[in-house]
Structure 1
């Protein structure tokens, strides 16, 4: 069985592109890639603020599913120009995960993301409490 998850007032934007923000199944939540866009879907231009917003958007999906950052067991981040912006990313990541135990993490460098101004996409798997 699977149950789709959408943050409050966000279902239409996900359905327009044909995917769910997250799927709850087998005691886990599988979160689609979250990016640093505002409520209007516009990319935030400042890298540090974009990364913080991406983690904020991830948090919104997790909360809608009934869990949080402490429940994440695996995280994958996709980075455009990773080395240029890594310290800003690391600061945002430390806000989300300030102390151990840390989740598994895989970082992948990519040429670009779906919107040219985006620098980061975050995909996660969380264990439901």
Structure 2
């Protein structure tokens, strides 16, 4: 049976404790990252959409780093959007800054009608490099 270990970033935001979930779970050489949002440390959403997406990616990066990974180790992405049509351009521009060379991760984007006060959420599966 594969071992499981919770992974927390150096400065975890309040949502993990408030809602009782781990930012990520490591199982052997895979990292399953919970949905990351543009949350400030106190758990409040960043009101500006572009800044919220950038903060979600920063929160994601903090979790990846805590596990010894980086964006280049991401295999699969699922993102959630409250208004995909109007948000698509902003998200794609930021995505291209982060994932600017192939091979790109697999990506599924879903339109949703509620994200608890947020407008963007991203969850990933990453492969943890040997030695991390």
> Scaled by the length of structure 2, what TM-score is found?
0.91
Q: Which runs of 5+ in 1 are unaligned?
A: none
Q: Which runs of 5+ in 2 are unaligned?
A: none
Tell me which residue corresponds to 2:104.
Answer: 102
Does 2:126 match 1:126? yes
Tell me which residue corresponds to 1:37.
Answer: 39
Q: What's the C-alpha RMSD, in Å, of the aligned pairs?
A: 1.3
Give CA deviations for 1:17-66 in whole Å, capped at 9, x if unaligned.
11100000021000000001122222111111111111111000000111
Runs of 4 or more consecutive aligned structure 1 residues displaced over 4 Å after TM superposition: none
> Scaled by the length of structure 1, what TM-score is found?
0.93
How many Å apart are 1:12 and its aligned residue?
Answer: 6.2
Taking the aligned partners of 1:81 and 1:90, their CA distance within structure 2 comes to 14
How many Å apart are 1:11 and its aligned residue?
Answer: 7.4
Taking the aligned partners of 1:64 and 1:10, their CA distance within structure 2 comes to 11
Question: How many residues align structurally?
Answer: 127
